[in-house]
Structure 1
Amino acid sequence: MRTPGLSQVLLAVVLGSAVATGAVLGFDADRDGVPTHEEFGETDPLAADTDGDGLDDDREGAFESDPTRTDTDGDGLTDDEEYRGAGERETGAVTEESAVEWERSDPTSPDTDGDGIGDATEAEAKMDPTAEDGDGDGLSDPRERDGPTDPTRGDTDGDNLRDGWEIRGTTPKGASIAEADPRHKDAFVHVLYLQGADEELPSSVVSQVKQWYAGMLVENPDGETGIRVHLADEQRTDRSIDEWVHDDGSTTHGVSGFMAMREFYNRETIGENTGSHFLVVIPGEDVPVRGGGNAGGTKTAIVRPWQGTDRSSERSYARTIVHEMLHNMVRRVGGQDCNGEMHTCKGFLSYTDDTHLSNVAAEKLNREGFADPAYPQQMNATTCGETMVYEDQCGLESSS
């Protein structure tokens, strides 16, 4: 115990006189929430924050930190930094730029989460000192700290596949993604042939799709460019959605990417591939549609073998698939002068025959990665009725 200073001695005399005359013992000279008569000894009765760490003495008592030491557990984080967590202080190890959010590490333990990495080390690296898996990707911080994945990002390469899934080669729902690389963007594709779609997707078309995606100037953490496309599953169904009856009684003939998602992107239809795979729907020959892809994050496209001016070749078939899948990956890339905000003036996302990725689309993918799910509940839907908000329009498929 430290020796009382002159100010404490004088204050003791004053308090002694106050007590002798019947004054209230609840007097708090420094207004720190601790009555002055209780502060003789370790804390300074004339200072609200005895150790000057930014945390008042009464708050330290409730927090179980030492009000006389700026860093109770000696882990390199002040008690105030441990109390406030990530993103609330501009100085020290904890900054507003912390990659993951965390609240109140333990001021009495140098390693709050017990993962073998000290609290200050994790905070300085913008990791979460309160959780063994700070980014929630299924891989522990110690496992990720030395690479190849980023312990502050649950999806290191930005392809909407969690790092833990890609490392293990399977998703929590059981979908196989064995070819996935957590440091290079992957796109796994499930192809669904509807009633009347007699021809299977030609291997030459698949090869062209893979080649075009691989050649895109989209950056990856492994230092390479491009997106790797994997044809994971092909499936046939006797269902069709060649018309859509609206609330006003009118009927739209033909199929949209939205309708395909509404009817087919659920576990009832494509099983464990929901959430992780892109769905390419091939309708029958009698369906008057040339192609449709939903806005970024919806992962469903419906494709007929034409796009642009050439409506017969396998090359144009491949371009249609690339175009519509890109709609799933990128959200709002264009302007009103380029066929709306979902299209660009040039490149794959234009209405031309261009076979390159426009700069604006590449920049958006490099900056943001694949678009996040537009409707998260869709990723866990088991039936059409659980898909998004249009459940009154389910069950409209035609079996004829």
Structure 2
Amino acid sequence: MNTRGVLVGLFLLGLLTSGVVATTNVVDIDGDATPIVAELEQGTDPFAADTDGDGLDDGEEVDEYGTDPLVADTDGDGLADGVEVTTHGTNPLVADTDRDGLTDGAEIDEYGTAPTDSDSDDDGLRDGAEVDEYGTDPLAADTDGDGLDDGEEVDEYGTDPLAVDTDDDGLTDEAEIDEYGTDPTVADTDDDGLEDGAEVERGTDPQRRDTDGDGLWDGMEVHASDRLPDADPLRYDVYVEVDEMSGQSLGWLEAGRVTNEFADAPIENPDGSTGVDLHFVRSDDTIPHASSTSFDDDLPSIKSTYFDNEGYGYHYLLIADSIDSDQGGYGTVVLGQARPGTMLVADDSRSDATGSTVMHELGHSLGLTNRDFGGVDSQTYSFAEYPSVMNYNAPLDHYGFSDGSNGPLDHDDWATIERDWYTPGTYLLE
């Protein structure tokens, strides 16, 4: 027995022989509610109420908390048992009371988080995950200040909780989700060639490839200025390549009248304006003269040879000497023929005949047909009833489409064109 044990034994013997106590089982020298004999058995100091100096009496540790009275920090979490019980309310037997992945001591001394709350900032992520996995601030619900809680970014949207603009498109993650409805993880949500931020700045729709509905993607209209000069993603644009046979032409004045009719079209644009921008782009090629050209037999080979803007969203127009009258079955001189995207027009010496025919065939090229209205390509209705260049009763110097406002027999050509708008292939712009 060591010296301290001998002294304790002599002390107890003195108490018994003097009659102070009848048994040593009740003797508690240090007042820690643990008899001397029990203290000797468990190794605690019978003369010190708190053997390990952790702030809890030996009796409390053994009988109430189940902690080790010989170890100041029973669970090894960096906090003394007494501090856990009396100050922080943590469990002195569990190193990570709230099971958030951080020890109680680390939460108190290093991170400032609450050791009894697994998600101190209430952002949907455990404190330990924020520290060890995501690098976010466990005390700030929105670490990057983008308007989205860290948990939302990780679990719901897949955005970076450390970056205000995850996809680097010029819009904050929160603005993309709550204001614009765009994808905060994809810079170009609608894949039109313009990033979402650029679209918002320009006024185009970042969720729609073709904001103005003219068949040309917004990015094409902005970036392909060499092929689409003066294109505007907020206004309808129509591009027509004009090829002319040697000795034939579409006069500038007549072309200008066609352009003006489109500019005055009652079609509303996303920028609040009305009208359509028609662009005639004249080819530098001179096509060898032919006295008669067939739409079905001759035009395909001419187009494949001379069409410079194939695949760029252009309609094709060939001005020829005359058109094979067998094509179309009219039994009269044919001034023009068209299918969506392709037009053949005869150069007529009569004033405005060529220009008004181009206007007529352009209506067909954009998708307007007799199936839409029986007055198209017929003499069924008088010009007064259906005042349209699509009416065979229209005078040669009339260029306009009808807007449907001229009585019960009239037809709204412009509304039909807008509804069925046809744009040739743009595969070389994509």
Shorter-chain TM range is 0.5 to 0.7
Which residue pairs with 2:308 in the alignment?
271
Q: Is the 8 A contact 1:216 1:357 kept in 2?
A: no
Q: 1:220 to 1:76 in 2, by over 3 A?
A: same
Q: Is the 8 A contact 1:330 1:361 kept in 2?
A: no
Q: 1:118 to 1:230 in 2, by over 3 A?
A: same
> How many angstroms apart in 1 are the aligned matches of 2:414 and 2:360?
14
Indicate the SS of the match to 1:146. Answer: helix
Which residue pairs with 2:282 in the alignment?
233
Q: 1:292 to 1:148 in 2, by over 3 A?
A: same
Q: 1:357 to 1:116 in 2, by over 3 A?
A: same
Correspondence for 1:348 among 389, 400, 403: 389
Q: TM-score normalised to the size of structure 2?
A: 0.51
Q: Is the 8 A contact 1:106 1:112 kept in 2?
A: yes
- Show CA shifts across 1:16-62 (max 9, x none): xxxxxxxxxxxxxxxxxxxxxxxx957xxxxxxxx9xxxxxxxxxxx
Aligned pairs for 1:326-345 (under 5 A) are 326-330=363-367, 334-335=371-372, 337-338=374-375
Indicate the SS of the match to 2:352. Answer: helix
**Superposed displacement of residue 200, structure 1:** 1.7
Q: Is the 8 A contact 2:212 2:235 kept in 1?
A: yes
Which residue pairs with 2:167 in the alignment?
113
Q: Is the 8 A contact 2:401 2:413 kept in 1?
A: no
> How many angstroms apart in 1 are the aligned matches of 2:149 and 2:347?
61
Aligned pairs for 1:249-288 (under 5 A) are 254-256=294-296, 260=299, 262-266=300-304, 268-272=305-309, 274-285=311-322, 287-288=324-325
**Superposed displacement of residue 280, structure 1:** 0.6
1:301 aligns to 2:343 (yes or no): yes
Correspondence for 1:320 among 357, 361, 365: 357
Q: Is the 8 A contact 1:149 1:182 kept in 2?
A: yes
**Superposed displacement of residue 313, structure 1:** 3.1
- Show CA shifts across 1:172-211 (max 9, x none): xx52x332222222222211124xx522222221122112
> How many angstroms apart in 2 are the aligned matches of 1:81 and 1:148?
27
- Show CA shifts across 1:111-136 (max 9, x none): 44232423342133132323212222
> How many angstroms apart in 2 are the aligned matches of 1:128 and 1:241?
58
**Superposed displacement of residue 321, structure 1:** 0.8
Unaligned runs of 5+ in 1: 1-39, 43-50, 52-63, 85-103, 244-253, 307-311, 382-400
Q: 1:164 to 1:215 in 2, by over 3 A?
A: same
Q: Is the 8 A contact 2:269 2:275 kept in 1?
A: yes
Which residue pairs with 1:203 in the alignment?
252
Correspondence for 1:220 among 269, 272, 286: 269
RMSD of aligned residue pairs (Cα, Å) = 4.6
Counterpart residue type for residue 177 of structure 2: A
Indicate the SS of the match to 2:413. Answer: helix
Q: 1:285 to 1:148 in 2, by over 3 A?
A: same
> How many angstroms apart in 1 are the aligned matches of 2:373 and 2:240?
30
Correspondence for 1:143 among 176, 189, 198: 198
Counterpart residue type for residue 338 of structure 2: G
Unaligned runs of 5+ in 2: 1-97, 101-118, 120-132, 135-140, 326-333, 405-411
**Identity rate of aligned residues, in percent?**
25
Q: Is the 8 A contact 1:348 1:356 kept in 2?
A: yes
Q: Is the 8 A contact 2:376 2:390 kept in 1?
A: no
Q: Is the 8 A contact 2:199 2:205 kept in 1?
A: yes
> How many angstroms apart in 2 are the aligned matches of 1:331 and 1:316?
20
> How many angstroms apart in 1 are the aligned matches of 2:393 and 2:259?
20
Q: Is the 8 A contact 1:192 1:281 kept in 2?
A: yes
Counterpart residue type for residue 121 of structure 1: A
- Show CA shifts across 1:257-300 (max 9, x none): x974x43555x5323454232211122336334312213xxx22
Indicate the SS of the match to 1:145. Answer: helix
Indicate the SS of the match to 1:314. Answer: coil
Q: Is the 8 A contact 2:240 2:279 kept in 1?
A: yes
> How many angstroms apart in 1 are the aligned matches of 2:155 and 2:306?
48
Indicate the SS of the match to 1:348. Answer: coil
Q: Is the 8 A contact 1:348 1:358 kept in 2?
A: no
Counterpart residue type for residue 243 of structure 2: L
> How many angstroms apart in 2 are the aligned matches of 1:225 and 1:140?
26
Larger radius of gyration: 2
**Superposed displacement of residue 228, structure 1:** 2.0
Counterpart residue type for residue 301 of structure 2: E
> How many angstroms apart in 1 are the aligned matches of 2:302 and 2:370?
26
Q: Is the 8 A contact 1:188 1:232 kept in 2?
A: yes
Q: Is the 8 A contact 2:248 2:321 kept in 1?
A: no
Q: 1:79 to 1:238 in 2, by over 3 A?
A: farther
> How many angstroms apart in 2 are the aligned matches of 1:333 and 1:77?
58
> How many angstroms apart in 2 are the aligned matches of 1:379 and 1:240?
32
Aligned residues: 275
Which residue pairs with 2:234 in the alignment?
183
Counterpart residue type for residue 280 of structure 1: L
Q: Is the 8 A contact 1:215 1:225 kept in 2?
A: yes
Q: 1:151 to 1:352 in 2, by over 3 A?
A: farther
Counterpart residue type for residue 275 of structure 2: G
Q: 1:203 to 1:113 in 2, by over 3 A?
A: same
